[in-house]
Amino acid sequence: MAKIGMIGAGSWGCALSWLLSNNGHKVTVWSALAEEIEMLQKTREQKSKLPGVILQESVSFTTQIADAVEGMDLLVLAVPSPFTRSTAHRLKDLVKEGQTIVNVAKGIEEKTLMTLSQVIEEEVPQADVAVLSGPSHAEEVGKGLPTTIVVGAKTKETAERIQNIFMSQVFRVYISPDVLGIELGAALKNVVALAAGIADGLGYGDNTKAALITRGITEIARLGMAMGGRFETFCGLSGIGDLIVTCASIHSRNRRAGILIGQGYSMQEAMDRVQMVVEGVYSTKAALGLAQKYHVSLPIIEQVNEVLFNGKPAADAVKDLMLRDKKIEVYDLQWDLPPADRV
């Protein structure tokens, strides 16, 4: 049995608490919101964000962050990406040398263009930081529906330890050394999911969504590889796997926000109606900043930015995507020359 500190009591934090407790581990859940902890203590249910998932009696709750950090075998950082730095800063003087933090949020910090693990390492340099990602909506994990995810860590030892803690008959865990690639796939797929939702809101069909997913993973891989990520990672669980589920699922807050925007709501109105943090909104500008830094073309993400922040009508963005200059799909592929032209 491991002692786990769950830093964050939202839908994902509570779903993972259910999973880890079901695996036989002792979980302590922290939130900065006293009313959230009071609700969990009384009902053992995150009623507003994860209704129907009842946390086991072995799960405890606290507003004292030290109680969820000190003496823990593993810390899971499960706060929304905009709050990763401020929360990590609170951990700075509590985390011991070599203590492992697994980040499960998905995003890129807009001002610094840093991945979330880089943010955590800057704030808590003594920590051993890992990441967990993949097709894993909280609503399904909390019901015990099977999925597979990937853990990225700097050492195989750390990755295997996390794998052993999370692995279950409904939660299959793979491991990888490509921390950067995992994080980039996780963050950028949210932006493409906004585009997929916008297409749904405009009334477009399955063909459109399939095209967005396919060209979306191409953009993600193009930027990710330019930054040092591995192509294989973007073909895996935190790349195409997470992209498919986020673009297609009814549970996807990014897709839901995109649908509203496609129906004519503003970005802020859409976020207000979703009533949860829409990670893709915060990652869009950061993705463009990274594209400029690494000289990479991201046409889908560029058009999402135009719709979100510059007031461009969504239908016009789609038209501009469709009418761009003609392209070759895969530049490494060549036509066979006629026999007479072969030298």
Residues 56 and 121 in one domain: yes
Q: Look over the chain and give the mean of its residue pLDDT values, rounded to a whole number.
A: 94
Give tens-digit pLDDT for 240-288: 999 999 999 988 889 999 999 999 999 899 988 988 778 888 899 999 9
What does R_g of the chain's alpha carbons equal in angstroms? 21
Domain that holds residue 80: 3-177
Please indicate, yes or no, if residue 331 is contained in any of the structural domains. Answer: no
Distance CA 229, CA 247 (A): 22
Please indicate, yes or no, if residue 83 is contained in any of the structural domains. Answer: yes
Residues 266 and 219 in one domain: yes
Residues 44 and 158 in one domain: yes
The one-letter amino acid at 340: A
The structural domain count of the chain equals: 2
Residues 170 and 190 in one domain: no
Please indicate, yes or no, if residue 327 is contained in any of the structural domains. Answer: no
Please indicate, yes or no, if residue 165 is contained in any of the structural domains. Answer: yes
Token pair of 310 as six digits: 């510059």
- Report pLDDT for 262: 94
Give tens-digit pLDDT for 313-330: 999 998 898 888 888 888
Residues 34 and 114 in one domain: yes
Asked whether the beta carbons of 102 and 131 are under 8 A apart, the reply is yes
Phi first, then psi: give them for residue 171, nearest 5 degrees.
Answer: -140, 90
Residue 229 pLDDT exceeds 90? yes
What size, in residues, is the chain? 343
Residue 209 pLDDT exceeds 60? yes
Region 1-19: mean pLDDT is 97
Give tens-digit pLDDT for 93-122: 999 999 999 999 999 999 999 999 999 999
Residues 134 and 48 in one domain: yes
Residues 184 and 164 in one domain: no
Residues 198 and 99 in one domain: no
Residues 228 and 249 in one domain: yes
Distance CA 244, CA 229 (A): 20
User: For the domain that residue 246 is a member of, what is the CATH number?
Assistant: 1.10.1040.10
Distance CA 172, CA 163 (A): 9
Give tens-digit pLDDT for 114-125: 999 999 999 999
User: For the domain that residue 17 is a member of, what is the CATH number?
Assistant: 3.40.50.720
Residue with tokens 């994080």: 183
Token pair of 6 as six digits: 């769950």
Residues 215 and 136 in one domain: no
| Whether residue 189 lies in the annotated active site | yes
Please indicate, yes or no, if residue 57 is contained in any of the structural domains. Answer: yes
Please indicate, yes or no, if residue 38 is contained in any of the structural domains. Answer: yes
Please indicate, yes or no, if residue 88 is contained in any of the structural domains. Answer: yes
Please indicate, yes or no, if residue 279 is contained in any of the structural domains. Answer: yes
Residues 112 and 225 in one domain: no
Region 294-300: mean pLDDT is 95
Please give, one letter per residue, the 3-state secondary structure of the chain.
CCEEEEECCCHHHHHHHHHHHHCCCEEEEECCCHHHHHHHHHHCECCCCCCCCECCCCCEEECCHHHHCCCCCEEEECCCHHHHHHHHHHHCCCCCCCCEEEECCCCECCCCCCEHHHHHHHHCCCCEEEEEECCCCHHHHCCCCCEEEEEECCCHHHHHHHHHHHCECCEEEEEECCHHHHHHHHHHHHHHHHHHHHHHHCCCCHHHHHHHHHHHHHHHHHHHHHCCCCHHHHCCHHHHHHHHHHHHCCCCHHHHHHHHHHCCCCHHHHHHHHCCCCHHHHHHHHHHHHHHHHCCCCHHHHHHHHHHHCCCCHHHHHHHHHCCCCCCCCCCCCCCCCHHHCC
Residue 341 pLDDT exceeds 60? no
- Report pLDDT for 334: 81
Give tens-digit pLDDT for 17-41: 999 999 999 999 999 999 999 999 9
Q: Looking at 49, 189, 209, 285, which residue is catalytic? A: 189
What is the value of pTM for the model shown? Answer: 0.92
Residues 208 and 298 in one domain: yes
Strand pairing class (147-152; 128-133)? antiparallel
- Report pLDDT for 339: 66
Asked whether the beta carbons of 321 and 300 are under 8 A apart, the reply is yes
- Report pLDDT for 343: 47
